[in-house]
A and B are shown apart, each in its own frame.
Chain A
């Protein structure tokens, strides 16, 4: 599959950037003319990954989030990366309702949302080094 367009940005791990990140990805994906439902799924998944980097990766302290988008003729790949605390057990982290921050009223549903709203979800993480989320979505034609 040949990429037709690509972009990469980095931004501070501030909660105001959650909206910024999902709007940027939606604007970039708009050139493929996706349906509103596909766009909503994409925005929600981006919001989940960026929020996780802020709350868990950097534990609400200052850090940098790296986001890359690659467009193909009919799909998008989004890569969201932090250099925060990392995930000890990825399989466990993906379990619905599993959270390490119940005191912050997290529900442990973020990865489940990404899995069901995107077509593929891949997690790379190393304790103490950081986390990289790679997800793709195919756009349906209406």
Chain B
């Protein structure tokens, strides 16, 4: 079981598309890829598109909060896009919907 990651950079917006299951195993493989891309070019906004994510546990919360703190330390912002109802449940219970925009 794997998690596929696709990254697109346009102007100062970095969009990360995830596809698969977001657990501890998957997070440990993609975290550095996202961070390298944040460092590579000036990024003002990080968009995490979760339309392809079929599973997420607290490891996903850790990934999101960690990237949020990083992008904010560079003065940027973060948005989550297209989470399923199942994902929305865990995003809300962990308070991530209070930290950033989810649409």
Interface residues of A (CB under 8 A from B): 15-16, 18-19, 22, 37, 40, 43-44, 47-48, 51, 54-55, 104-107, 109-110, 112-113, 116
- B interface size (C-beta, 8 A): 21
A107 touches B93 (CB 8 A): no
| Neighbouring B residues of A106 by C-beta, 8 Å | 58, 62
A116 touches B93 (CB 8 A): yes
Q: Is B33 interfacial (CB-CB < 8 Å)?
A: no
Contact with A along B16-41 (1 / 0, CB 8 A): 00000101110010010000000000
Would you call the interface of chain A mostly helix, strand, loop, or mixed?
helix
Interface residues of B (CB under 8 A from A): 1, 21, 23-25, 28, 31, 55-59, 61-63, 65-66, 86, 90, 93-94
| Neighbouring B residues of A16 by C-beta, 8 Å | 1, 25
Residue picked from B21, B55, B56, B58, most chain A C-beta under 10 Å: B58
| Neighbouring A residues of B31 by C-beta, 8 Å | 105
Would you call the interface of chain B mostly helix, strand, loop, or mixed?
helix
A107 touches B86 (CB 8 A): no
B28 touches A113 (CB 8 A): no
Residue picked from A19, A54, A107, most chain B C-beta under 10 Å: A107
Query: A113 with B86: in contact, given A18-B25, A105-B62 (CB under 8 Å)?
Result: no
